[in-house]
Amino acid sequence: MTRKRVHLAVYDTYADWETGHATAYLARAGYEVRTVGPSAEPVRSIGGLRVQPDLALDAVRPQDSSLLILPGADLWDTSDDLAPFARTARAFLDAEVPVAAICGATAGLAREGLLDDRAHTSAVSFYLAATGYGGGERYVDTDAVGDRGLITAGPTEPVAFAREIFRLLGVYEGEVLDAWYRLFHDSDAQAYAVLEKAAAR
């Protein structure tokens, strides 16, 4: 049986803390997480981790994926080096394959015009406004937002970001999704019993 596949973008200065909750629990749920770099050459995260991408960006096709995840990175704001990832996000959304972007990646998508007609969030509204994009009226001041296959979140919300990914893909639902969020976001010990019960079923 072919495992479901998600693609995690990795590039120099990517924020390694922003996607860990999502990728760890997607893997536990049976997804194959494939890393995608600008090329096949290794990249280094903002935390100094050296990552060898599984494949280069030009080899990624929406039809082979369940989701594209774009973490933040210094490079989103200091150069155009990551613009090809924003263009790939457009191709995914055009093919009705979801995209999840956090932190600086939201600015990249704003520059690509992908937030002009979707509800979205980021670090703060004026961060995206500085890109000159046309979607300011659709900015939502909350932890994470999902709209028509696109999830956005700010840099301080990796757990809420993961929650919206799980909701979109149906990894967890209802009280189990709520319990997962309460456990990892609020350190609610009572939520653990809900997850244990669900895992036993």
Q: Catalytic site residues?
A: 103
Question: Would you state the structure tokens that stand for residue 128, as one six-digit string?
Answer: 């995206």
Give Rg (Cα) of the chain: 16
CA distances from 82 to 73, 125, 132, 142 (A): 9, 21, 18, 26
Helix 104-111 vs helix 83-94: crossing angle, to nearest 10: 70
Question: Would you state the structure tokens that stand for residue 189, as one six-digit string?
Answer: 């010990």
Contacts of 79 (CB under 8 A, 6+ apart): none
154: closest CA among 129, 126, 184, 121?
Answer: 121
CB 88 within 8 A of CB 74: no
What are the two backbone dihedrals, phi and then psi, of residue 21, each rounded to the nearest 5 degrees? Answer: -60, -45
68-70 sheet: strands from edge to edge: 55-56, 31-37, 4-9, 68-70, 99-102, 150-153, 144-147
